[in-house]
Every structure is written in C-alpha cells, then in structure tokens.
Structure 1
Amino acid sequence: MSLKEILPGKLGFGTAPLGNMFRAIPDDEARATVEAAWDQRIRLYDTAPFYGAGLAEERLGEVLSTRPRDSYVLSTKVGRVILDEHETETPDFGEKGGLFEHGNPNKILHEWTAEATERSIEGSLKRLGTDRLDIVWVHDIAQDFHGDAWVQKFEEARTGAFRVLSRLRDEGVIKAWGLGVNKTEPIEMTLALDEPQPDGFLLAGRYTLLDHEHALQRLLPMAQQQNVDMVVGGPYSSGVLAGGAHFEYQEAPAEIIEKVTRLKGLAAEHGISIKAAALQFSLAHPAAAAVIPGATRPSRIAEDTAALNEKIPAAFWTGLRAAGLVSPAAPLPNNA
C-alpha cells in the first residue's frame, strides 16, 4: 500500500516543537496547539521518542487518546529508547546539540537493533496512549547525528529495524514503514537494497524552497521509479521561511537571510504569503504525499491551513523560476 493511499490529506502536523525544541513550552499551550490541529481537521500526526525524550509523544497522546483511533493516522519513529533514569551529562546530538535541552530529563539510548526497535515501539505506544501505530520511520541514521559513523548505524538499522518493521507491516501490525531523516543519502542507500523495501520516507528540510536541488538530482528520481512516496518535513526550513530565525536548527546565516528576503519580496509583489509558497512548492513534486509543518501556537495551525488553500497566481511561480530562486528541475504548481 502506498503512502498516498494511507494518508488522510496533504497537510499533517509535525510535533518536534512539542518536545520543547528551542524553548520551554507550557503544557497548556502545547495542548491547545494539538487541539487546534484537530479543530482544523488535520488528521495526520507525526512524532518521535527523540522529541524532548518522550515529551512530544506524551503531549500528543494526551489529546489524541481521547479521539476515535480510526479517525486519524499516527506515525512515530524508532532508533531512540527512552530510559527511566535521568541524564546527568549533556547529551551528544551531533549537529543538533542543545535542540531539546528543555525536554524531559530522561536518558536516551540510541540504538537501531531489532530488540531496541521493539522496545522503542512499546514505549511509544505507552506514551501515546494507543494500541497501534500506522507508520513507523527509522529515525536519524545519517551524517548530521553520526558523522563518518553513520554508515555503521545504517547497517545496524538494516539488519535490525528494517527487518522488524518489514515483518510488522507484512503481519498487518503497522501499515507502512520507511526512513525519517534530514539527509538524502540514507534513503538512496535503502532504495538500492535488494531487501526490505520501505513504503515511503519522511525527508526533513531537504525539499523546501531553500534546499531542494540535491534531492532532485538522485533521490527523487529513484523514489519515483520505485513508486515510493515522500512526506515533506520541515517545509519552513526550521522556521526561517515562516518568520523565525533558524535554518537547519541553527541561527540562519547571511546568505540564507538574503535569499529569504528575495523570496518574501517576490511573494509580496504577487500579494501572497511566503508560507503558502513554501507549502505548495513542497507538495508540487509528484512524489510528495503530504507536508507536516510543526507548530507550538494554536494560531500557527490556522495559518498553515490557510496557506495550503491560498490561491497563488501562475505569475509568481514563473517569476520564481525566472529569478533563479528554484532549481530548473523543480516541478512547480500550475505547471509553471
């Protein structure tokens, strides 16, 4: 079954911010944001144990566990097991150091073996207050967390998590599995394997208005050839495309700020929002099944819904192409 057959719509809700990413979010604000997503008829929810050492899953589960389970699609990730004991040292998250410093204090075991995969799923089910998951992503087996050791982590996942999730899918326990990463190379390696094949992938930050050329070169043609769909994570490039100061989870550099300024200027000329341009660009690729922006304030959810439905004139897209702000190979809405 393809992701497009499983997913309930083009717009989902990414819950990384609910794990206290960048800042400590009050519980009532987090709860109100999830409630707002539900009220806006969003029925795709993505989370992970890594987000605040279980905090995002707990907050999401608090709301969704009161809703009919068949009325929404839920995805989480494996690769991190949340332990009961508390962390006493600063954890090493590679390039993402300090990302969830305001999350739960629990220690995190980073492991992609078969046994750890099953433990991770058990922990997620408990925190989410549910009896089943729809989609499970293999999380962060890539360079940004592991440097040169990422291939070793990939191999651990290939012989562990991949096989467990493939079995669970074949048994009907889950509907689909794939990789959830911030880099294209692990997905390319997976698609080249003769053994367990994913149903799709969650690619965060690599198919946005600011960063898409690399994905277009190799990954997305491979995915299309194999009929493997993409969920686009991080469509606002860590927030810089939505008024924030971060790009790639760090303070945005000058060249990115300059490009965002040009994009916003062109959007203003055509009377559209940059959020609308960002979401609709990410969804224009034939492999894109859904987009899952994150949020920590209820008002942001309404903005995302409006952005998805905003009418963007074809002249904007042709202007974007003419200004060299997107790759010549990138599919655009309205066949611009």
Structure 2
Amino acid sequence: MTITSLLPGPIGFGTAPLGNMFRAIPDEEAAATVQAAWDQGIRYFDTAPFYGAGLSEERLGAALAGKDRDRYVLSTKVGRVILDELETGSRDLGEKGGLFEHGNPNKIVHEWTAEATERSIEDSLKRLGVDRLDIVWVHDIAQDFHGDLWLQKFEEARTGAFRVLSRLRDEGVIKAWGLGVNRTEPVELALALDEPQPDGFLLAGRYSLLDHDHALQRLLPMAAEHGVDMVVGGPYSSGILAGGTHFEYQEASPEIIEKVRRIKDIADRHAVSIKAAALQFSLAHPVTAAVVPGATKPSRIAEDLSALHENVPADFWAELRKANLVSPNAPLPGNA
C-alpha cells in the first residue's frame, strides 16, 4: 500500500512543536491548535515519542480523544523508549542539543532493536489513547544524531525495527512503515535493501524551498524508481521560511538569512507569501505524498491552508529559477 493512498490529503499536522520544541506552550494552546486543525479538515497527524519525551503524544492523544478513530490517519515513530525514570543530566542529542529542553523530564533510551520497537509501539498507543497506528516511521537513524556511528544504528534498525514493522504490516496491525529522518543517506540505504522494504519515508528539512539539491541528486530518483512515497516534514526549514529565526533546529546563519531575504524579495514583487511558495514547492515533486508543517497556535492552521491554495504565478517560479534559488532539476508547481 502506498503512503499516498493512505493519506487523506496533501497536508497534515506535524506535532513536534506540541512537545515544547524551542519554547514551553500551555496545554490549552496545544489543544486549541489541534482542534483548529481538525475543524479545518486536517485528518493526518504525525507525532513521535521523542517530541518532548512523550509530551507531544500525550497532548495529541488528549486533543483527539472522543473523535472517531476511523476518520483520521495517525503516524508515530520508533527508536526512542521513554522511561518513567527522570533525567538528571543534560541529554546528548547530537546536533539537536536543547531542542526539547522544555518537554517532559523523563529519560530517553535510543534503541532500534526488535524488543525496543515493540515496547515503543505499546507505549505510544497508551500515550495516544488509541488502539492502533496507521504508519510507523523509524526515527533518526542518521548522521545528525549519531555522527560516524549512524551506520551501526542503521544496522540495529535493519535487524530489529525494520523486521518488526514489516511483520506488523504483513499481519495488518499497521498499514505502512518507513524511515523518518533529517538526512537522505539512510533512506537511500533502505531502498537498496533486498528486504525488508519500506513503504515510504518522512524526510524533514531536506526537500524544502531552501534546501533540496542533495535530495534531488540520488534519493528522489531512487524513490520514484521503487514507487515509494515521501512525506515532507519541516517544509518551512525549522521556521525560517515562516517568519522564524531557526534553520536546522538552530539559529539561522547569516548565509541562510541572506538566501531567505532574496527569496522573499522575489516573493514580495509577485505578491506571493513565502509560506505558499514553501508548501507548494515541496508538494510539486511527484514523489511527495503530503507536507506536514508544525504549529503551536490555532491561527497558523488557517495560514497553512491558505498558503496551500494561494495562486502563485508561473513568473515567480521562473524568477527563482533564473536567480539560481531553486535547482534546475526541481519540479515546479504547474510545470513552471
């Protein structure tokens, strides 16, 4: 089953911000944001134990409680087991240090074995308050968290998580599985395996208006060849394309700020919102099944949906191409 056939539309709700990413948000604001997404027709929700050490799953589950489980698609991730024991020191999150410092204080075990995968799924079901998951992503077996050890983590997942999820899919317990990562190489490696084969992948930050060259070189042609779909996470590049200051989960560099300024100047000349440009660019690739921007304020949902449907003239894309702000190989909306 393809990811595209599972998803109810081109936009979902990414719940990393509900885990208090970058800042602490009140429970009421988190609940109101999920409700706004529901009220405006969004029916795909993506979460993970890692987001705030279970906080995102808890908040999403509470917000969706009472809603017909058959009316929405739910994905979460494996690779982190959340313990009852509390963390006493600082967490080692590789390049993402401090990302969820406002989340739950529970200890996080990073493990992709079969046993850890089954426990992770059981714990997620409890936190979410549901009886089943639709899609499960294998989370963060990549260089940004593990440096030179990432291949070791990938092998742990290949012999553990991949096989468990393939079995659960074959048994009909879940509908699909894949990788949820911020780098292209683990997905390329997974697609090259004889077995087990993923159904798709959630790629965060690597197919955005701001950063897409690398994905176009090898990963996306491979995905098209294998008939495997991509969900685009982080279409606003951690917020810098939505008026924020973060890129790659850190404060944006002067070079990135300058590139965004150039894109925005062209957008302003064509009366195009940069959010519309970001979402519609990520959706234009034929491998893309959906985008899942995150939000922590109800008003952001309406902005995202408006951006999705905004009319963006072909001249805008042509000028971006001429200014070398999009790759010559990138499919553009409307075949611009």
Structure 1 segment 97-176 matched on structure 2, within 5 A: 97-176=97-176
Alignment partner, residue 281 of structure 1: 281
Q: CA RMSD in A?
A: 0.5
Alignment partner, residue 290 of structure 1: 290
Aligned-partner residue type, residue 35 of structure 1: Q
* Cα distance in 1, alignment partners of residues 66 and 270 from structure 2: 42
* Cα distance in 1, alignment partners of residues 40 and 305 from structure 2: 7
Distance apart, 1:63 and its partner CA: 1.3
Alignment partner, residue 185 of structure 1: 185
Alignment partner, residue 252 of structure 1: 252
- Which runs of structure 1 show a deviation greater than 3 angstroms over 4 or more consecutive aligned residues? none
Distance apart, 1:81 and its partner CA: 0.5
Aligned-partner residue type, residue 185 of structure 2: E
Alignment partner, residue 30 of structure 2: 30
SS in 1 for 2:163: helix
Number of equivalenced pairs = 336
* Cα distance in 1, alignment partners of residues 30 and 299 from structure 2: 12
Aligned-partner residue type, residue 84 of structure 2: D
Quick one: percent identity of the two aligned structures?
79
Alignment partner, residue 322 of structure 2: 322
* Cα distance in 1, alignment partners of residues 107 and 97 from structure 2: 15
Aligned-partner residue type, residue 231 of structure 1: V
TM-score, normalised by the number of residues in structure 1: 1.00
* Cα distance in 1, alignment partners of residues 193 and 235 from structure 2: 28
Aligned-partner residue type, residue 57 of structure 1: E
Q: CA offsets per residue over residues 130-165 of structure 1, 9 Å max, x none?
A: 000000000000000000000000000000000000
Distance apart, 1:65 and its partner CA: 2.1
Distance apart, 1:319 and its partner CA: 1.1
SS in 1 for 2:231: strand
Q: CA offsets per residue over residues 79-114 of structure 1, 9 Å max, x none?
A: 000101101111100000000000001001110000
Distance apart, 1:287 and its partner CA: 0.1
* Cα distance in 2, alignment partners of residues 120 and 334 from structure 1: 41
Alignment partner, residue 3 of structure 1: 3
* Cα distance in 2, alignment partners of residues 78 and 66 from structure 1: 25
Alignment partner, residue 197 of structure 1: 197
Distance apart, 1:8 and its partner CA: 0.4
* Cα distance in 2, alignment partners of residues 28 and 58 from structure 1: 13
Alignment partner, residue 20 of structure 1: 20
Segments of 5+ residues of structure 1 without an aligned counterpart are none
Segments of 5+ residues of structure 2 without an aligned counterpart are none
Distance apart, 1:334 and its partner CA: 1.1
SS in 1 for 2:301: helix
Q: CA offsets per residue over residues 256-311 of structure 1, 9 Å max, x none?
A: 00010011111111111000000000000000000000010110011000000101
* Cα distance in 2, alignment partners of residues 178 and 253 from structure 1: 31
* Cα distance in 2, alignment partners of residues 65 and 170 from structure 1: 28
Aligned-partner residue type, residue 61 of structure 2: G
TM-score, normalised by the number of residues in structure 2: 1.00
SS in 1 for 2:261: helix
Alignment partner, residue 270 of structure 2: 270
* Cα distance in 2, alignment partners of residues 65 and 130 from structure 1: 8
